[in-house]
Amino acid sequence: MQTVATIEQLRQQISDWRQQGLTIGFVPTMGNLHAGHISLIEEAHKHADKIVASIFVNPMQFGANEDIDSYPRTMDDDKQKLIAANTDILFTPTPEIIYPKGLENQTYVEVPDVSDGYCGESRPGHFRGVSTVVCKLFNIVQPDIACFGLKDYQQVQVIQSMVEDLSMPITIIPVPTMRESSGLAMSSRNNYLTADEKSIATNLSKTLLWLAEEVKSNKNFSALIEQAAAKIDASGMKTDYIHISHARTLNPATAEDKKLVILAAAHCGKARLIDNLQVELDA
Ligand code: PAF
């Protein structure tokens, strides 16, 4: 695996591959890689000849009071995992390379509607930062396909909308969430949890499973959401939000919708965890 930090070096290698008629798959990450990230690389191998991964802790998607300084950085370990997964190039730009004029003067991309609620509401500006950096990375790498984990369900919808709205010739491949045997969705932020908190955190996915069963027979979604939030809080976490939504638009689900997603975020110790579950109702 080659590691490159500059846009010029990366473009040179990608243009050599393009001249050989090879296709490019891309997996953008913020590092601190776990099995969920590696499943994205594995999926990308199924769709493209050469795989580019990036590690960039993107300052634009962190709010003023968020964890950018403490966000876990484990570059040596990450490289070993990417080598083992047969990644061809790792792109590791600095903030100066991605935002040479600074964040204030950077052109940005804002995807309306799907960016607005849920994590968009709890973390103002977060999705502007995500869509801007992913747009830049797409322009730098110019991949044929790019893989994103469904653990960040709203992020996948935001990126899918950006690609459609801006006519980007890139296929977005959503990859199912990897979970611990306890059901806890894998996340770099699980590193903030103590052993006790890790066991408490399993109640997030348990509550989603409970709610997914309930929505099959009960259309009183607001009452169900209240009960689900109470379960999360009673387990020792603090619910940030829990909603039952249309799986693509992310609008609040109606009793007629068949493809739903349950989206949730909760605070557990120092970590803010997110999780979701798609539910398909019988037609
Ligand atoms: O999901 C992430 O790790 C980040 O939001 C992404 C897509 C790499 C953009 O910084």
Question: pLDDT grade, residue 166 (50/70/90)?
Answer: very high
DSSP assignment string, 229-245? HHHHHHTT-EEEEEEEE
In this structure, is residue 281 part of a structural domain? no
From 27, 29, 172, give the residue whose CB has the most ligand 1 atoms within 8 Å, as the site to mutate: 29
What is the value of pTM for the model shown? 0.97
**Res 282 pLDDT > 90:** no
Q: Of 27, 58, 274, which is best to mutate to test ligand 1, by the most ligand atoms within 8 angstroms of its C-beta?
A: 58
Q: Is residue 212 part of a domain?
A: yes
Is residue 268 domain-resident? Answer: yes
Distance from residue 246's CA to the centre of ligand 1 (Å) = 23
**Residue 105, domain extent:** 2-175
The Cα–Cα gap between 57 and 61 comes to 9
Domain check: are 131 and 252 in the same one? Answer: no
Q: Over the stretch 122-134, which tens digit does the pLDDT of each residue have?
A: 999 999 999 999 9
- The reply to whether 167 and 211 lie within a common domain is no
Identify whether residues 171 and 235 lie together within a single domain: no
Domain boundary residue, one of 132, 148, 175: 175
- CA–centroid distance, residue 61 to ligand 1 (Å): 9
Sheet-wide strand order for 238-246: 238-246, 259-268, 271-280
pLDDT, averaged across the chain: 97
CATH number assigned to the domain comprising residue 17: 3.40.50.620
pLDDT, tens digit (0-9, with 9 covering 90-100), for 167-176: 999 999 999 9
Q: Is 37 a catalytic residue?
A: yes
- Mean of pLDDT values over 17-21: 98
Q: Is the Cβ atom of 134 under 6 angstroms away from ligand 1?
A: yes
Catalytic residue of the set 34, 37, 47, 246: 37
In the chain, how many domains are there?
2
The answer to whether the CB of 28 is under 6 A from ligand 1 is yes
Closest C-alpha residue for ligand 1 atom 6: 29
User: 237-263 pLDDT, tens per residue?
Assistant: 999 999 999 999 999 999 999 999 999
Q: Cβ(133) to ligand 1 under 6 A?
A: yes
Please report whether residue 255 resides in a domain.
yes
Q: Provide the pLDDT for residue 135.
A: 98
Looking at the structure, tell me whether residues 36 and 167 fall in a common domain. yes
Tell me the pLDDT tens digit for each residue of 126-156.
999 999 999 999 999 999 999 999 999 999 9
Please report which confidence band the pLDDT of residue 67 belongs to, taking 50, 70 and 90 as the band edges: confident
159 and 239 in a single domain? The answer is: no
CATH number at residue 247: 3.30.1300.10
Domain end call among 121, 153, 175? 175
Q: Tell me if 53 is assigned to some domain.
A: yes
Question: Is 181 a member of any domain?
Answer: no
- CA-nearest residue for atom 8, ligand 1, is 29
Residues 33 and 164 in one domain: yes
Do 79 and 157 reside in the same domain of the chain? yes
**Phi, psi angles (nearest 5°) of residue 124:** -55, 135
pLDDT at 283: 73
Report the nearest-CA residue for atom 2 of ligand 1.
Answer: 29
Our mutation pick for probing the ligand 1 site, out of 27, 132, 133, counting the most ligand atoms within 8 A of Cβ, is: 133
pLDDT digits (tens, 9 = 90+) for 195-207: 999 999 999 999 9
Residues 236 and 128 in one domain: no
Quick one: what percent of the chain has pLDDT higher than 90? Answer: 98
Query: Can you list the alpha helix ranges (DSSP code H) found in 126-172?
Result: 126-141, 153-165
Q: Which of 175, 196, 221 is the last residue of a domain?
A: 175
Same domain for 130 and 249: no
Note whether 80 and 139 are same-domain residues: yes
Q: Is the shortest distance between the CB of 152 and ligand 1 below 6 Å? A: yes
Burial 200-224 (b: 16+ CB within 10 A, else e): bbbbbbbbbeebbebbeeeeebeeb
pLDDT in tens, 76-131: 999 999 999 999 999 999 999 999 999 999 999 999 999 999 999 999 999 999 99
